[in-house]
Amino acid sequence: MAFFGLIGNDRRMAETVYSDRESASERTARKRRAAHQRAARTADRQGQAWEDTERRRQDSGRNR
């Protein structure tokens, strides 16, 4: 009847059995941060490309 020993000690079991594992909420937060960083890098690159194109367009107009 070991099953009855499991009832009520969820916190103690979680502290010992799952202590070296990442929790689901921590994993989700980590993935969310990584996705945000990727999106920020992509937006930064697109902005830089637009800026380079705009400068080339403006500089070519002045030389005429």
Q: Sorting pLDDT into bands at 50, 70 and 90, what band is 2?
A: low
Domain range for 40 is: 23-57
- Model-level pTM? 0.51
| 47 is a domain residue | yes
Per the structure, the count of domains in the chain is 1
Evaluate whether residue 41 is within a structural domain: yes
Distance from C-alpha of 54 to C-alpha of 49, rounded to nearest angstrom: 9
Does residue 64 lie in a domain region?
Answer: no
Q: What is the pLDDT of residue 1?
A: 44
The answer as to whether 63 is a domain residue is no
Distance CA 18, CA 36 (A): 28
Residue 10 within any structural domain of the chain: no
Q: Over the stretch 5-62, which tens digit does the pLDDT of each residue have?
A: 666 777 777 777 777 888 889 999 999 999 999 999 999 999 999 999 999 999 987 6
